[in-house]
Chain A
């Protein structure tokens, strides 16, 4: 067990597949080679100067160390041409680094015409990726070899979408849209992180990026879409529970460890106390209201952290979620 994790880590660290090196994960987009190249170039320049600095330092310490019979020897206390030289010459190197960084950055910012567009919504603490046909997924699925533009916004605080394999990152700011783009190279699965601290479960605001071969992508999209259209309500609810990020905060069993909200298991039809001291029966109207106006009634023992789903779920989807939650308590006898 131990050794196998060790081995897989070592493999991950040293494996040379698809551009992965000790310092970088797989090169998953066509930005990656350019950015890695710049990184290595800066590393080489830095290492060169660092070696000189440390080398000279060590040499001077050894050569001029205080010892019997050795004392400081006079030497110039300044040397203007030399000092101007070492102030100005590094400037040219810095200018080159700056220019390279800026030019690559312009590519990162210039979205090509006709890019495939996916809408991204971030909320504490999950991602929603919405396809042109209305399908919403909790993981990002993209076609390979085709520019993809993400049109992004946040429902609560600032988040940041970061795909290390693509070497791209962009903040999602509430109240405005931001965008980013990339072209994935080759099928595979990568990690997608929230890089801007966003509260309690920031470190679990993680999703996968699944890159499909261009030919398979349309098929994948059709299958997923059909699924949602033809499912019975409770099963659609189960799907939405995962895709809409409910699962981040609500358990569906008794294992509520690390969950910010109450579990859905065996709650429908029960009486629950609220933070304001009142109590409430968990029935359809309460559930609907909790989804659309989550801060109106907070159950005792929980924080008011849930984002609203107003405008994010269609009526039939809300119905489906309610049906699903209902199905999680078989003994439920809805109150009249």
Chain B
């Protein structure tokens, strides 16, 4: 692109002059009672990052204990409590709310070009419900801990003397928090799209959150009721799950996975949405196969409800049921594969720049690829019999949930950080952190596939010495991974103090959030922004004066640089 365009460029940024959402009011009340989706998003961000830190420290303790086959510094009971809390905190307090409630909350209205979500009060209520759920988790720790595993399988969970009731109430409350967020987004996206933003002009992040919301609303009540049944069983002795009282313990697993399998898509769909945004922005190319990506989100949301039985192939399930669940499991892997192919095609003939969010995007494709492909080993019945409940499963779900959701979350955080806080971070250090995380992650979890196929069961405080070498490798990987995460946290925090002021559009993004200033003003936009096709970049050009991208008037293209006619 020739430089001459830029001289005629006019900065076209909304909201200059009005105070931004961070400084428009102050005092703790202006935060605690805020109805501003951006501030709620920021509070969510702080809260879930605190949970991530807590869960992460537990993970490191678990890994350190596993340096030795016998006891190192945790008793068996302490070890069991540790992996239970690690899993429960990471799933319920961190992964499920991470992208929707923190990043989504901030971005959904801005990407729609509107002032706020449909129900701002419900949005704040969702946050306080999250706090309530977290308090119950904390209470469970204080009142004797929890040693059931995050899966709460009966009849162990109905007979252990740890705080199952308190923790289940925590899950119940967190469920409502999640439903509130889902309902809010569903209505917001359905009703508040501005003129010109048809369904198929919506950024794919919004599509993915829309699909996620459907799951949140339909599946979460099931875990809520399951938790209540568990409480009823423990407190009142009703025989639902406990065979000693005429109940069926396997019924619990059906209920649990009927929620928790769709829940893994609550975690991964928003992640895929972020990746779709970033791969397009950093390739300066329209996303390839927009409709297939959008539809595949919905397909995943719906098919995801039909595969829960794949967690139960050796639970005594009939071969017929096992066959159906296995077949359906394979069918749900196709929409994920489609997205990967589309992301790659988006880079084709693009202008690919490796800024930090793009580094996370590439890392995501690599790690999620391994996570998804190893799902095939588990979806196939014969191999799952051997691999079920071993470290292979542990590695598989860390590749998808940590290599997938966490990496996309970090990518999204780096992508939208300048927008959220108005500061640029140190690009090189952030990239190095991303690399350390990538290497540390693989060093931690790849050996666990081998551990699993060699027969090392999961949730073992002690293990046979032949497995030690793999465990040690994994622990050193985890230390590296931890170092990378701390570095990236340091880089981001440092930017708040010392960072360069962020331009409105540092990366050249084409969706609406890049049209308001960084950080956005209290009302996001002074006047409704003009909605155009998302993912068109020709009119967005780098302006060295601004230090970021600005929109230029559409100029007559030179002949061999013609923008593609838009067709859908």
Contacts and interface: CB of A to CB of B under 8 A. Distances in A.
Nearest to B155: A157
A176 interface: yes
Interface of B: 1, 71, 75-77, 80, 147, 149, 153, 155-156, 159-161, 243-244, 248-250, 283-292, 314-316, 319, 322-323, 326-327, 330-331, 333-334, 337-338, 340-342, 344, 347-354, 362, 365-366, 369-370, 373-374, 376-377, 379-386, 388-390, 449-450, 453-455, 457-466, 468-469, 537, 561-564, 566-567
A94 interface: yes
A217 interface: no
B338 A13 contact: no
A173 B315 contact: yes
29 contacts: A9-B468, A22-B450, A23-B449, A42-B383, A46-B373, A60-B350, A61-B362, A64-B350, A65-B353, A66-B353, A71-B1, A72-B283, A74-B562, A77-B287, A77-B289, A86-B338, A87-B292, A95-B330, A108-B382, A162-B455, A167-B386, A171-B316, A173-B315, A173-B316, A197-B459, A199-B80, A202-B459, A202-B460, A258-B76
Given A50-B370, A57-B347, A77-B567, A196 B153 contact: yes
Nearest to A52: B344
A198 interface: yes
Nearest to A61: B352
Interface stretch (A98-106, A126-134, A324-332): A98-106
Contacts of B563: 74
A191 interface: yes
- Top 8 nearest A-B pairs (CB, nearest first) are A164-B455, A175-B243, A101-B380, A104-B382, A105-B381, A203-B460, A66-B353, A46-B373
Contacts of B341: 83, 86
Given A61-B352, A204-B462, A90 B337 contact: yes
A105 B316 contact: no
B385 A167 contact: yes
Given A39-B453, A61-B347, A72-B283, A197 B376 contact: no
A63 B316 CA distance: 52
A57 B270 CA distance: 22
A16 to B, nearest CB: 14
B454 A101 contact: no
B351 A71 contact: yes
Contacts of B316: 170-171, 173, 176, 178
B80 A200 contact: yes
Given A83-B289, A169-B388, A64 B344 contact: no
A268 interface: no
B348 A75 contact: yes
A105 B319 contact: yes
Contact of A198 (B156, B334, B461): B156
A173 B250 contact: yes
Nearest to A162: B457
A25 B467 CA distance: 11
Contact of B383 (A35, A75, A83, A103): A35
Interface in A22-67: 22-25, 31, 34-35, 38-39, 42-43, 45-46, 49-50, 53-54, 56-57, 60-61, 64-66
Interface string A174-215: 111010000000000001011111111111101000000000
A25 B452 CA distance: 10
Nearest to B160: A199
A203 B561 CA distance: 65
A221 interface: no
Contacts of A5: 465, 468
A156 B277 CA distance: 50
Contacts of A53: 340, 344, 365, 369
A101 B460 contact: no
A73 interface: yes
A109 interface: yes
B330 A156 contact: no
A9 B381 contact: no
Given A102-B326, A174-B249, A193 B382 contact: no
A35 B76 CA distance: 33
Contact of B376 (A24, A94, A105, A170): A94
Contacts of A291: none
A192 B80 CA distance: 21
Nearest to A176: B316
A50 B365 CA distance: 10
Contact of B288 (A77, A101, A103, A104): A77
Given A57-B347, A158-B156, A195 B389 contact: yes
Contact of B334 (A35, A87, A202): A87
B153 A158 contact: yes
Given A156-B155, A169-B389, A98 B327 contact: yes
Given A72-B351, A83-B338, A78 B291 contact: yes
Nearest to B347: A60
Contacts of B449: 23
Contacts of B149: 197
A54 B369 contact: yes
A70 interface: yes
A1 interface: no
A112 to B, nearest CB: 16
B354 A23 contact: no
Interface string A73-93: 111111100010011001100
A24 B453 contact: yes
Contact of A97 (B284, B344, B380): B380
B82 to A, nearest CB: 13
A246 interface: no
B455 A191 contact: yes
B390 A195 contact: yes
B38 to A, nearest CB: 31
Contacts of B464: 191, 206
B106 to A, nearest CB: 27
B294 to A, nearest CB: 11
Contacts of B469: 6, 9, 13
Nearest to A174: B243
Given A61-B362, A64-B350, A72-B349, A193 B455 contact: yes
A169 B330 CA distance: 22
Given A66-B351, A74-B349, 8 more contacts: A61-B347, A83-B292, A87-B334, A94-B331, A101-B380, A101-B381, A102-B381, A258-B76
A97 B314 CA distance: 19
Interface string A108-128: 110000000000000000000
Contact of A197 (B156, B344, B347, B466): B156
A65 B564 contact: no
A97 B382 CA distance: 10
Contact of B319 (A98, A109, A191): A109
Contact of A169 (B344, B347, B385, B466): B385
